[in-house]
Structure formats: structure tokens, C-alpha cells
């Protein structure tokens, strides 16, 4: 359409790239069967998309391989080698370790594009296995830890916190696929947008036990608990997640209706297996924090559980830094 005018159709537009980019012409003209050919017609949309995907992931296109390596690195370290994962251009950030980025991209390419091998290579490296130990001389040189002289302390993502709590309570539904879970009460609104009520939804409903990835998300009415934990706004593009620390997060972990109910399920699970107060506290530490409790911790939490109940003792552990942060 000339200048976007619907009444002024122009010639048919074939797939291709910007002519101003040298050596970037698409070489995937489609034949009648939808296969790549030296020359041919436009083909249908599905075949064009498949051909474009093959072109993007071609071994000669280093950008795609470097981009996925950077995103996987970002996933493990909280910041990519290039700290603008959606922008590798002149307006984006410069790589902190350009040779490392290229080396990992080549290893990924030569390994057949195995993301599992890339994850393994990163998590078994010396830089990933560092402690979060603070070092004053290094901090004076690189206060932002851009060059990774220690491990960054990271908070679990909203979905990970929710799913971990479900798993510990023994309530997580591991079923894969299927329709989205709707953990809210929906009613007709005044206009087009319906009224969505999260507080009135039955906390013991099976939809609350699905993994967070299967939640039905209302873009205009986000779930308050997940929003407080920095779950991205699904109506906007989020190149990378924020990691904030606010009082609302602590209040949510202590008082959210689903979390409170899960604390009760965890306590009931422990009480069925143990009758001794000390054994119950030790079991709570192993379930929630994944470690043995010290003698002083056992004494303190036994006294707390005696006064406030085991479910409230579990609430304390769920709201501890050890549960919320990856050290």
C-alpha cells in the first residue's frame, strides 16, 4: 500500500532484508513445495517464516548465537556479558568480556546448538562457583562486580518462590500442558473488562496448585502477590527482570492467603511424621531451607512454635533470606 493508503495498492513485496546492509540478502527464495530454492516465488507465510528462522540460525550469522549465549549467561548471573540483551547495536551496552562471549558462541555452534551443554559449561565454571564473599580491594576497582570477582546474591523470581512453596507443601501439580489455571473469581464488569477478584478465590482449589507458568494472566489486573515480587507486566516487553527489595514482599510472604495456607500444609506434613518438637523444627529446616538446623536455632524455633504454633514457625522460615535468596 503506497504510503499506507488502503486504496493505493502497489506491487507485491517479496521477502528480503534491508538493501543498505551489505551481504545480508536473503537467499531462501521458496519453491512450490515450500523448500528453500535458488529462485522462486514468495511461498506461503508458514514456509517464509521457517526459511527466515533457518536464515537467522545459519552458522554464518554470529549474532543469533552470541545473543542466545548472552541470554543464558544473564539467566545464571543476573546480568549478561552484554547488559542490554535486546540490543547488541551501537546504542546497546558494550560486552564486559567480548572474547568470552565469542568463545561460548563458537562452542554452542560447534556443539550442535545444545543449550544443555551450554548450561553445563557455565555452571561448572570457576566463575559461577565463586562465593559471594566481599573483598574491599576488588570492590574499590569494580564496585558493581561487572567483572565478576564474586558471585552476585540474587533473589528468587516470583514464579520460583510460589512454585517452591507449593513443592515444599507437597501440593505442586506437575502435570504438563493443558488449559491455563484461573486462580481468581471472575464476574462481569461495567464495561468490557471483567472484574477479577483474587482474594475471594478458594485457596485449596486445584487451580492454585498448578505451576506458575500455567497461570492465566489478566494483563489489566495483575495478581498482587506476584506483582509485589517483580513479576513482569505481561502487557509490556521486559528485556530483563527487576530485582527489588521492598516491605510489600515481606508482607506478602507473611500474609498472602495462599502462602498462609501452604504454611499450614507444611506444618501438617511435618506433624504427621514427627511428634517431638525438636524433630519437627529440624524437619522444617530440612524441608524449607534444605539444611540441618543448629542447636541454637532448634531451641529458638521450638519455643516460638510452642507459643505460636508450627505453621507460624514455618512462616518465619519461608520469610527468611535463606529461602528467598540464592547464595
pLDDT for res 21: 64
Q: Which domain-ending residue is among 226, 244, 262?
A: 244
Number of domains in the chain: 4
Q: Are 42 and 51 in contact (CB under 8 A)?
A: no
pLDDT for res 18: 67
Residues 26, 73 within the same domain: no
Residues 144, 220 within the same domain: no
Residues 189, 213 within the same domain: yes
Residues 20, 75 within the same domain: no
Residues 142, 67 within the same domain: yes
Residues 168, 88 within the same domain: no
Q: Which domain-ending residue is among 218, 244, 270?
A: 244
pLDDT for res 38: 37
Range of the domain at 295: 251-326
pLDDT for res 23: 58
Distance CA 159, CA 155 (A): 11
Residues 181, 130 within the same domain: no
Q: What does pTM read for this prediction?
A: 0.79
Q: Are 37 and 30 in contact (CB under 8 A)?
A: yes
pLDDT for res 125: 95
pLDDT for res 22: 62
Per-residue tens of pLDDT for the chain, all 327 residues: 888 888 898 887 776 666 676 655 555 444 444 444 433 344 577 877 887 888 788 888 888 999 999 999 999 998 999 999 998 888 889 999 999 999 999 999 999 999 999 999 999 999 999 998 889 999 999 999 999 999 988 899 999 999 999 999 999 998 999 999 999 998 887 877 788 899 889 999 999 999 999 999 888 888 999 999 999 888 888 888 888 889 999 999 999 999 999 999 999 999 999 999 999 999 999 999 999 999 999 999 999 999 999 999 999 999 999 999 987
pLDDT for res 16: 67
| 169-176 long-range contacts, CB within 8 A, separation 24+ | 169/262, 169/263, 169/265, 169/266, 169/269, 170/265, 170/269, 171/209, 171/262, 171/265, 172/209, 172/211, 173/206, 173/209, 173/210, 173/211, 174/211, 175/210
Amino acid at each position: 500500500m503506497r504510503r499506507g493508503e488502503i486504496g493505493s495498492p502497489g506491487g507485491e513485496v517479496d521477502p528480503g532484508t534491508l538493501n543498505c546492509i551489505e551481504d545480508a540478502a536473503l537467499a531462501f527464495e521458496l519453491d512450490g513445495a515450500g523448500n528453500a530454492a535458488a529462485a522462486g516465488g514468495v511461498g506461503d507465510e508458514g514456509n517464509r517464516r521457517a526459511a527466515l528462522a533457518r536464515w537467522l540460525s545459519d552458522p554464518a550469522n554470529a549474532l543469533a548465537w552470541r545473543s542466545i549465549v548472552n541470554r543464558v549467561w544473564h539467566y545464571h548471573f543476573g546480568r549478561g556479558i552484554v547488559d542490554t540483551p535486546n540490543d547488541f547495536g551501537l546504542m546497546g551496552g558494550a560486552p564486559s568480556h567480548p572474547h568470552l562471549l565469542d568463545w561460548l558462541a563458537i562452542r554452542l555452534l560447534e556443539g550442535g546448538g545444545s543449550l544443555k551443554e551450554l548450561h553445563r559449561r557455565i555452571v561448572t565454571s570457576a566463575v559461577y562457583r565463586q562465593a559471594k564473599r566481599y573483598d574491599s580491594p576488588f570492590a574499590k576497582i569494580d564496585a558493581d562486580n561487572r567483572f565478576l570477582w564474586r558471585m552476585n546474591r540474587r533473589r528468587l523470581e516470583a514464579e520460583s518462590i510460589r512454585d517452591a512453596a507449593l513443592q515444599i507443601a507437597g501440593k505442586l501439580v506437575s502435570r504438563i500442558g493443558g488449559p491455563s489455571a484461573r486462580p481468581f473469581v471472575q464476574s462481569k464488569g461495567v464495561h468490557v473488562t471483567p472484574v477479577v477478584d483474587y482474594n475471594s478465590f478458594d485457596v485449596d482449589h486445584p487451580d492454585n496448585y498448578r505451576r506458575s507458568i500455567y497461570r492465566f494472566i489478566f494483563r489489566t489486573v495483575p495478581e498482587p502477590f506476584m506483582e509485589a515480587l517483580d513479576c513482569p507486566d505481561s502487557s509490556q516487553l521486559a528485556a530483563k527482570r527487576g530485582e527489588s527489595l521492598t516491605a510489600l514482599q515481606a508482607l506478602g510472604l507473611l500474609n498472602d492467603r495462599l502462602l498462609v495456607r501452604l504454611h499450614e500444609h507444611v506444618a501438617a506434613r511435618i506433624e504427621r511424621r514427627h511428634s517431638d518438637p525438636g524433630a519437627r523444627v529440624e524437619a522444617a529446616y530440612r524441608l524449607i531451607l534444605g539444611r540441618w538446623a543448629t542447636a541454637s536455632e532448634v531451641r529458638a524455633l521450638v519455643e516460638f512454635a510452642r507459643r505460636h504454633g508450627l505453621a507460624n514457625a514455618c512462616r518465619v522460615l519461608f520469610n527468611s533470606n535463606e529461602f528467598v535468596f540464592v547464595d
